[in-house]
C-alpha cells in the first residue's frame, strides 16, 4: 500500500485512547467514502443529492419528509425530484391522505437503479473497510447507536449546510 504517511498505524495513533482513535478512523473513512460515492453508478451518472434521494426512497415519501431525511432545503429536494423525474427514475403524485402535499415514489427503472446503487455501495464498503460481514453488522449497530445519540441533540451544523 502506498501512503504519504510512513506508517498508517502512526497516522491513526495506536497510542491514543480508543475514543480518539475512533474519531480519527471515522474521519478517514468519511473522506474515502465521499470519494468512493462519486464513482458509483457510472452507467447512469448521478449527483450526490440524486443518489441520496434514491437511497432514501425505500418507500413513497412526502417531499417534506425527504427534505428532513436528506437534511436539505425543500427547494433542493424539489430540484432533485425534478431532475430524477425527467430521467424517469421517480414520479411525483399527490399524497392520498393530504391532497396539498406531494409524494415521491420510484419508478421501476428508479427501483432498479436504487437496488444497483445499494449493492455497489455495500460491496465497495466491504472491500474498502476490509471488515467481515459480521464485523460490518456490528459496526452498523454501533454507528447507529452513536448517531441516534448525536441526533437527539439536533442535526449537526455541517449536515445542515452541506445539502447532502
Residues 14, 51: Cα–Cα separation, whole Å: 35
Whether 18 and 98 map to the same domain: the answer is no
- Give me the pLDDT at residue 125, please: 92
Which has more confidence, 54 or 98? 54
39 φ, ψ to 5°? -95, -10
| Least confidently predicted of 36-50, 80-94, 127-141 | 36-50
Q: Retrieve residue 4's grid coordinates.
A: 504519504
Q: Report pLDDT digits (tens) over 119-144.
A: 999 999 999 999 999 999 999 999 99
Q: Are 58 and 113 within one domain?
A: yes
Does residue 145 come out as left (phi exceeding 0), alpha (psi in the -120 to 50 range) or beta? alpha
- The C-alpha cell 455495500 sits at 122
pLDDT bucket at 151, cuts 50 / 70 / 90: confident
With cut-offs at 50, 70 and 90, classify the pLDDT of residue 164. very low
CB 88 within 8 A of CB 109: yes
| Grid-cell match 415519501, residue found | 61
Q: Do 62 and 116 sit in the same domain of this protein?
A: yes
Cα 66 to Cα 63: distance, rounded to the nearest angstrom: 5
Residue 83 and residue 80: Cα distance in Å, rounded? 5
* Claim to verify: residue 139 and residue 58 sit in the same structural domain: yes
Threshold 0.75, pTM exceeds: yes
The count of domains in the chain is 2
d(CA 117, CA 56) in angstroms, rounded, equals: 12
Rg of the chain on CA atoms, in Å: 18
pLDDT over 80 (residue 34): yes
User: For residues 107 and 91, is the Cβ–Cβ distance under 8 A?
Assistant: yes
Domain extent for 98: 44-162
Say yes or no: 57 and 30 in one domain: no
Asked if 66 and 56 count as a contact pair (C-beta separation under 8 A), the reply is yes
Q: Residue 122 domain-assigned? A: yes
- Asked whether residue 113 falls in the same domain as residue 134, the answer is yes
**Domain-located, residue 1:** no
- My answer on whether 119 and 57 are in the same domain is yes
Instruction: Provide the pLDDT for residue 60.
Output: 96
Amino acid at each position: 500500500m502506498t501512503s504519504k504517511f510512513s506508517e498508517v498505524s502512526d497516522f491513526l495513533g495506536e497510542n491514543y485512547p480508543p475514543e480518539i482513535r475512533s474519531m480519527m478512523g471515522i474521519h478517514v473513512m468519511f473522506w474515502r467514502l465521499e470519494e468512493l460515492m462519486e464513482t458509483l453508478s457510472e452507467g447512469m451518472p448521478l449527483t450526490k443529492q440524486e443518489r441520496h434521494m434514491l437511497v432514501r426512497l425505500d418507500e413513497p415519501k412526502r417531499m417534506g419528509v425527504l427534505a428532513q431525511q436528506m437534511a436539505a432545503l425543500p427547494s433542493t429536494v424539489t430540484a432533485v425530484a425534478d431532475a430524477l423525474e425527467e430521467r424517469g427514475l421517480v414520479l411525483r403524485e399527490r399524497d392520498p391522505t393530504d391532497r396539498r402535499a406531494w409524494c415521491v415514489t420510484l419508478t421501476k427503472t428508479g427501483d432498479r437503479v436504487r437496488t444497483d446503487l445499494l449493492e455497489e455501495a455495500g460491496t465497495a464498503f466491504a472491500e474498502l473497510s476490509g471488515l467481515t460481514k459480521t464485523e460490518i453488522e456490528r459496526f452498523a449497530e454501533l454507528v447507529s447507536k452513536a448517531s441516534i445519540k448525536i441526533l437527539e441533540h439536533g442535526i449537526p451544523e455541517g449536515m445542515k449546510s452541506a445539502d447532502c
